[in-house]
Amino acid sequence: MRSAVAAAAGLLAASLHAGPLTAQARDTSRAAPPPVSAATQKHIKPVDALWRSLLIPGWGQAATGRNMAGAAFAVWEGVTIMMTARAVQEKHYMEETGSANVASKDQQIQDWVVLLIFNHLFAAAEAYVAAHLMDFPKELQIRAGPGGAGIGVTLPAP
C-alpha cells in the first residue's frame, strides 16, 4: 500500500516539474476550412447536369458536388470502353485463326456496347435527378416510433 502511495506521489511530482501537458497547450494551428455544404455550393440547373453527364459521364455528378458518384461513372465508362476494345481485338484474332467462336465474340462486343450506352444514359439521368435534389434537406431522418416509423426534417431557424 505504501509503495502505491509513493508511486502516485512520485508521478504527481514529476508531472508538476514537466511543464504544461500537451493536451492543455493552446492549439495555434489553423483549422481546416469547413466542408462545402449544399447551401454554399453553386447550384447547377438539372438540364445542364444532364448534358454534362451525356458528354462525359460523371461530370454532371461532380458539378452537383457528388464526386464519388461521378468517379464511379467515369471509371465504369473506362472499363466498358477498354473491354469493348479488347473484345474487338480478340474477334479479329479469332477471324485470322479461323475460330468457330466468332459469333459468340460478336455477342460479347454487343454486350459491352450496350453497357457503355446504358452507363451514358444512366449517368445523365442520375445527374439530372441529383441536380433537382441539391436543395433537399440533408437533415431528413427516419425514426422508429411507438406506432411505427416516422419521418422528420429539422428546419433552420428564420
Three-state secondary structure string covering 124-148: HHHHHHHHHCCCCCCCCEEEEECCE
Q: With 60 as the cut, is the pLDDT of residue 107 above it? A: yes
> Is 19 a member of any domain?
no
% residues pLDDT > 90 (the chain):
46
- The pLDDT tens digits for 8-54 are 566 555 555 555 555 556 666 666 665 555 444 568 888 999 999 99
In a domain, 94, yes or no: yes
Q: Which residues partner with 145 through β-bridges?
A: 148
Residue 11 lies in a domain: no
Total domains in the fold of the chain = 1
Residue at 6 is within a domain: no
Specify if 154 maps to a domain: no
> What global pTM score does this model have?
0.60
**In-domain check, residue 17:** no
Do the Cβ atoms of 105 and 87 come closer than 8 Å? yes
Residue at 16 is within a domain: no
Please state, for a pLDDT cut of 70, what percent of the chain lies above it. Answer: 61
Kindly state the average pLDDT of the residues 137-147.
69
Q: Which domain holds residue 91?
A: 42-135
Q: Is 20 among the domain residues?
A: no
